[in-house]
Amino acid sequence: MAVYCRRADPFVIAVSPESSMNAVCRPPELAIIVPTFNEAGNVAAVVERVAACMGDRDWELVFVDDDSPDATAQAVRALGRDDRRVRCVQRIGRRGLSSACIEGILSTTAPVVAVMDADLQHDERLLPQMLQELKSENLDVVVGSRYVSGGGTPGWSRNRVRISRLATVFGQRFLAVDIKDPMSGFFMMTREAFDDTVRQLSGIGFKILLDILASSRRRLKVRELPFTFRERHSGESKLDSGVAWDYVMLLMDKTVGRYVPVRFIVFSLVGGLGVLVHMLTLALLFKGLGAGFAASQLTATLVAMSGNFFLNNYLTYRDRRLRGMKMIGGLLSFILACSVGAVANVGIAVYLFEADTFWVLSAVAGVIVGAVWNYAVSAVYTWNAASR
Ligand code: GDD
Ligand code: MN
């Protein structure tokens, strides 16, 4: 018998036939993780519809909210005050659908977990069937799929269909994932399978299922069940060009990331671009406007560093992007870190050169030491991202 510890029934423990605390407050068999950003207008409907379709199964809903300005977290907590099956994990100063799902899954003890969007585009009525098949067929993962027979995306523009298909083919080819809809954000899996993969996950961007399938060390038993992707209930999609960039980062991380951290690759590319910006600014000021060399070089350095800061803030550290006033402190700490990096760069290069090292090698060694320093120090002090 399923007995929920609702606030509304404070005496449930006393009256329950299973009168031990353990029996009454058993963990749910299914936790549904719902990442949210600005979904205040949807969360009540999610709770209502999930409750309506789950029958007497034991479940909980974990909303993982990235401190949405529309107060989604407060809305979830208000729902949780009436129903303890509804919980909120609120993350501050962080963004990202995948990492939100990972943290939501880590926050529950349920033996089976599902991931579902908050905007009701994923059909919650599929959840009972997913759970049943997962258990009866001994599967690791069940995917709500738009691309198996019976599923679909009615109402999508031709362009969106084309982009989605292209991204799917990229994922399938690059990461050797052979299911029809690895880009789906709607799936269920056993905790065991999740625990096996969690340390290998990239946690970048939107594609958590693809991340899981590509990271698993063993072949997961997967089944796809069709569903029809619905219209968004309320609010706006967060899909933008940044999401496409996140996808590129995920593909890089899952392929070359094994050897070099993907953030370091992007950071270095931005650095290379910075050299170009530096030379252009220098040429403009010194040659074009006739300014003095020292003043031109100093200005070019500051322009290149600032440009690099903004690009890194947008591309390399999207998930930890500094905004508003925090950007000023970030910019200053970045310039400071890179200045010390430049001193180290020149110091190492001169030291090697004077020890009879070929000039190109001396210079390259200096550049590498400077780049690694800039990367490591700015990761910690500018973007506060020590671990990843
Ligand atoms: N916590 C958190 N942080 N949640 C986020 C973030 C974020 O940075 N960005 C988006 N979300 C939440 C949204 O609030 C929503 O509940 C869900 O993630 C999906 O975001 P949408 O903006 O609705 O994305 P979509 O509809 O374009 O794409 C979805 O469907 C695709 C097809 O199934 C996603 O689930 C994709 O992963 C999926 O491929
Ligand atoms: Mn959506």
CA distance 70 to 68: 5
Count the neighbouring beta carbons within 10 Å of the beta carbon of residue 178.
9
What kind and span of H or E run contains 153?
Answer: none
Secondary structure (3-state) at 330: helix
Average the pLDDT over 315-338 and give the result. 93
User: From ligand 1's centre to the CA of 235, what distance in Å?
Assistant: 12
Q: Is the CB of 26 under 6 A from ligand 1?
A: no
**Whole-number pLDDT of residue 27:** 86
**Whole-number pLDDT of residue 241:** 79
99-112 per-position pLDDT tens digit: 999 999 999 999 99
User: From ligand 1's centre to the CA of 15, what distance in Å?
Assistant: 42
* Nearest in space to 274 (alpha carbons), one of 367, 172, 158, 144: 367
Full-model pTM:
0.84
User: From ligand 2's centre to the CA of 255, what distance in Å?
Assistant: 27
Q: Which of 11-15, 132-136, 307-311 has the lowest mean pLDDT?
A: 11-15
Q: Is the CB of 183 under 6 A from ligand 1?
A: yes
* Nearest in space to 334 (alpha carbons), one of 304, 366, 296: 304
Nearest ligand to the C-alpha of residue 238? Answer: 1
What kind and span of H or E run contains 226?
Answer: strand 222-226
Q: Is the CB of 118 under 6 A from ligand 1?
A: yes
**Whole-number pLDDT of residue 15:** 46
Q: Is the CB of 95 under 6 A from ligand 1?
A: yes
**Whole-number pLDDT of residue 3:** 45
**Whole-number pLDDT of residue 150:** 95
Asked if 29 contacts 110 with a C-beta cutoff of 8 angstroms, the reply is: yes
Give the pLDDT band (50/70/90) at residue 239. Answer: confident
Q: Which residues sit with Cβ closer than 5 angstroms to ligand 2, an ion? A: 117, 119, 121
175-233 per-position pLDDT tens digit: 989 999 999 999 999 999 999 999 999 999 999 999 999 999 999 999 999 999 999 99
Mutate to test the pocket of ligand 1, among 49, 62, 101, 117 (most ligand atoms within 8 A of CB): 117
